[in-house]
């Protein structure tokens, strides 16, 4: 079965990429849905209907299937390479994967609320939420590529700095947008 290892790993990576693509885009659709809710009729209804359809297709045709397939191929890889489960970097990676699933399930909860016109987040809060998957992606990629050579202090500082830069970028965008509503 090891002769199929690279094929399984390739499929795992493809579905991780498409899963993240869905997780990057779904909160952006949430932002648009939240903003459309404040528009006057008929824009509110037209945009709301279209954005709900886009979110539904993204969520159930791309994001959920990708999450499931990425997980199945990951399990298959771990069955082929059980020694990885003894590696400290793999424990940390799996911790981030659990965090990613938590993020995914929260997005599903938000998705269901917005499909029922329940707005509990501001568009700015959703923009910040949108960066959660980015932070998890950075952590996992660096962890997998660098593995045991990771200096944990630098890794933690790097993730914190990335988070701060993302939040500053969101605040800067909000200022620009407030000055120019068309941006």
Q: Which pTM does this prediction carry?
A: 0.85
DSSP letters, 69-117, are HHHHHHHHHHHH-GGGGGSHHHHHHHHHHHHHHHHHHHHHHHHHHHHTT
Residue 156 has pLDDT above 80, yes or no: no
Can you tell me the mean pLDDT for 45-62?
A: 97
pLDDT category at 39 given cuts 50, 70, 90 is very high
Res 164: pLDDT = 86
Q: Which of residues 135 and 70 earns the better pLDDT score?
A: 70
> Does 109 count as an annotated binding residue?
no
Can you read off the two tokens belonging to residue 92? 């940390």
Higher pLDDT, 142 or 91: 91
Closest CA to 32 of 159, 178, 130, 108: 130
Q: Is 12 annotated as a binding residue?
A: yes
Query: Is cis: bond before 42, omega within 30 of 0?
Result: yes
The confidence score (pLDDT) of residue 34 equals: 97
The whole-angstrom separation of Cα 90 and Cα 136 is: 14
pLDDT digits (tens, 9 = 90+) for 71-110: 999 999 999 999 999 988 888 889 999 999 999 999 999 9
- HEC per residue, 117-139: CCCCCCHHHHHHHHCHHHHHHHH
């Amino acid at each position: 079965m090891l002769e199929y290892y690279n094929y399984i790993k390739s499929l795992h990576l493809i579905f991780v990429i498409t899963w993240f693509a869905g997780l990057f885009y779904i909160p952006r659709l949430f932002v648009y849905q939240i903003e459309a809710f404040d528009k006057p009729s008929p824009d509110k209804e037209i945009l709301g209907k279209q954005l709900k359809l886009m979110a539904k297709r993204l969520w159930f045709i791309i994001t959920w299937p990708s999450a499931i397939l990425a997980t199945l191929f990951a399990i298959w890889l771990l069955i082929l390479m059980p020694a990885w489960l003894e590696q400290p970097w793999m424990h940390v990676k799996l911790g981030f994967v659990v965090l990613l699933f938590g993020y995914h399930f929260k997005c599903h909860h938000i998705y269901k609320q917005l499909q029922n016109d329940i707005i509990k987040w501001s568009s700015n809060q959703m923009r910040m939420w949108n960066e959660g998957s980015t932070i998890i992606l950075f952590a996992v990629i660096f962890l997998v590529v660098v593995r045991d050579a990771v200096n944990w202090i630098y890794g933690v500082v790097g993730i914190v700095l990335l988070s701060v830069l993302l939040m500053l970028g969101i605040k800067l965008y909000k200022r620009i947008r407030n000055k120019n509503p068309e941006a």
